[in-house]
Amino acid sequence: MTTLPPSEFTLGFDHDPATLTVRVAGELDYDTSDDLLEAVVEHLTAVQGPLRDVRLDFSELTWIDSSGLAALLMIHRRASAVGAVLHLDNRPDVLERMLQITNVLEHLTAQPTGVRDARNGRDAVEEDDGITGAGAT
């Protein structure tokens, strides 16, 4: 059996005044998930002015494991803390399956707590659902 070497993990960053875009390439796993989290947090703290969106572009992602998913959950938490919405763009099948199996896509892309809900003109409030410790809006 032939084994292929792992895809090189790389990150690319683009900023505009209200959006941070991160291009994730290669394998997001135990060995690389901390690198993603640390880099995103560093960029979140360096951004001047209000940030509306954090976009993770996965068009070149080749693998994700549970450590990668945990990093995405932490990125969601950090993005929400600054009032930004997390977007998971160009999701390959491997990521889509992980999000479906774990049922976290809606949570990861939800409006941050306390953000004004433009649809009904009131503040969106996230509450603990009392069962899983996950928020329910």
Distances in whole angstroms, Cα of residue 48 to Cα of each of 17, 51, 52, 104: 8, 8, 12, 30
In this predicted model, what pLDDT tens digit does every residue of 81-119 receive, in sequence order? 999 999 999 999 999 999 999 999 999 988 886 654 443
Contacts 24+ apart (CB under 8 A), 31-35: 32/68, 33/67, 33/68, 33/70, 33/71, 34/71, 35/9, 35/11
- Name the pTM for this structure: 0.79
Distances (CA, A) of 126 to 8, 35, 103, 107: 37, 29, 18, 11
